[in-house]
Structure 1
Amino acid sequence: MARGDDWSQLEVEACVADYLAMLTLELNGQRYSKTGRANGLMQKLDGRNRPSIEFKHCNISAVMLALGYPYIAGYKPRGNYQGMLLDIVEAQVQLRPDLQDAAQAAVLRPATVVAVANGGAVWVPLPRPPRVRETPASYAPRFSPARRDYLAQEARNRSLGRAGELFVLELEARRLHAAGKKVLSERVEHVAATQGDGLGFDVLSFEEDGCERLIEVKTTSFGELTPFYVSRNELARSQADAGRYQLYRVFGFRDRPRLFSVPGAIEDSCQLEATTYLARVGN
């Protein structure tokens, strides 16, 4: 029979345990069947249908991001989760050293350069997540041992960042060459490598009319809604050169690289949250 919206603690615990098991398998590169796992979970949760379970999995994805973990591909994060869900995820994550090991290995794994097979096939529209009010706990300070910095560690993975930049470099050269702009295609430059990383962007490319396109590349192996880190210098450059600036978000890099573009000033399209401060002793 149909069930109400209120999930019991036992139901949430079962759903979270199943999610964490799937995430561990995914981070380790091991295959599993989402359909098979969902059918098994439905047998444990009498009366819960698959859409309700998948919605709960999407809630768990939002909690995992709040704790600094990647989320399962295919279960896009959805906010407005119940406070009990956050508590249960925190408790179970602490009891899963295999998950922690898998996440650590995944974010530190070296990356190799990937060739662009079909330039047009890699582009997706700029994601527009549902603008719902997040659970206050996801924004309030929460001093929990379950919190990790896995996403920050991946952002510091230099081989992954470089591989993503070279992917975009080839993509831009191909775009211009296909448009009949061979000379411009040959001028596309990986400025982060040739001039240094203090320019506030990584790749100098061009529009078809010859105007410059300043591209900052942010690469992740995880899903398209994985948050990324930007520096104050990058924010300033995107504001100063909003008409020429584009942030390319490359995601799913190790499996099937795709990307979307965030044009103009970053703060106009993204929610920004301060995470660290440069501190000096004294006032």
Structure 2
Amino acid sequence: MATDWSREEVAATVADYFAMLAAELSGVPYNKAAHRRALIKRLSVRSAQSVEFKHANISAVLIDLGFPYITGYKPRSNYQGLLHDVVSERLVSDSQLLNVAAADADRPIVVPEVEDILGVLTTPPAMQSGDKEPGRGSIQATRACISVNYLEREARNRSLGTAGELFVLNFERARLINLGKERLAEKVEHTSQTRGDGAGFDILSYEETGADRLIEVKTTKYGRETPFFVSRNELAVSESEASRYYLYRLFGFNVKPRLFTLAGAFSESCRLSPSSYLASVI
């Protein structure tokens, strides 16, 4: 029967994860398998599978704290309270990792080149079964850990957002040309540039029938499960224009761009959580 992880084991695993994450955010190559083998030697009796699962739990904690995670470790949200505490404590004190994350979030991005732009399309992430441990895992409960939401900081990177929109422009033109609709491809409009952000979507494209397709683009350099941020106006437009509204979510954008799409209102396809409040003195 597996024993509970001790604080020492958790601390060693988190420290090793953070070392890999710092390398990944800095663009420095590293070997996950080598890290795992070295870590297992320092733990009591833990299998490679158990360590991998703990790494996935750490990814989930970091997302809940508004922090990027290692792309290869898909988040598993049903994590122990001790893990949350250790990740939070270490993250607050790790100024080097915080600086690396800030630099990565702000880094200018150009539109990446791909051989087959239509080949970047993939499936959305599957909803995980099971709830998080009570009192753990909610952004509202854990945001006091660090003063900056680094996922939101990356989302505000204007060069990243613009590059993602330009990528989707190219994708939509290629999609329509592939359907034999060259004239529609020529009409695809970069709405956020021609009409401003108030439109509630970034790109006006078309269905094969010629009907409008309103596209909101959200781009991240991080993994597919990284949450994104929706403005009140985008939410409202997705509701009022649900029949022709699409989210295009780009992820892994700086290394290997991939894309999934969701049709309709955000409230129907996403779990929405408040992330900020407007306050007035009373």
Q: TM-score range by the shorter chain?
A: over 0.9
| 1:138 aligned residue | 137
Deviation, structure 1 residue 66 = 1.3
What code does the residue aligned with 1:71 have? Y
3-state secondary structure, aligned to 2:160: helix
| 1:93 aligned residue | 91
Select 1:75's aligned residue among 73, 76, 92: 73
Report the RMSD for the aligned CA atoms in angstroms: 1.4
| 1:165 aligned residue | 165
- Matches for 1:197-208 after TM superposition, within 5 Å: 197-208=197-208
Unaligned runs of 5+ in 1: none
Q: Which stretch of the first structure deviates more once superposed, 134-143 or 219-228?
A: 134-143
| 2:118 aligned residue | 120
Alignment of 1:9 onto 2:7: yes
What code does the residue aligned with 2:231 have? S
Deviation, structure 1 residue 277 = 1.8
- Tell me how far apart the structure 2 counterparts of residues 180 and 75 of structure 1 sit (CA, whole Å): 40
- Tell me how far apart the structure 2 counterparts of residues 164 and 84 of structure 1 sit (CA, whole Å): 38
- Tell me how far apart the structure 1 counterparts of residues 112 and 143 of structure 2 sit (CA, whole Å): 39
- Tell me how far apart the structure 1 counterparts of residues 21 and 217 of structure 2 sit (CA, whole Å): 26
What code does the residue aligned with 1:171 have? F
Alignment of 1:40 onto 2:31: no
What code does the residue aligned with 1:16 have? V
TM-score by length of 2: 0.96
CA contact (8 A) 1:68 1:147 kept: no
Question: Cα 1:5–1:171, aligned 2, differ >3 Å: closer, same or farther?
Answer: farther
| 2:246 aligned residue | 246
Q: Which stretch of the first structure deviates more once superposed, 107-116 or 245-254?
A: 107-116
3-state secondary structure, aligned to 1:141: helix
Question: Cα 1:260–1:5, aligned 2, differ >3 Å: closer, same or farther?
Answer: farther
Q: Which stretch of the first structure deviates more once superposed, 207-216 or 134-143?
A: 134-143
CA contact (8 A) 2:75 2:225 kept: yes
CA contact (8 A) 2:118 2:174 kept: no
Greater share of helix residues, 1 or 2? Answer: 2
Deviation, structure 1 residue 281 = 3.7
3-state secondary structure, aligned to 1:40: helix
Q: Percent identity?
A: 49
TM-score by length of 1: 0.95
What code does the residue aligned with 1:108 have? D
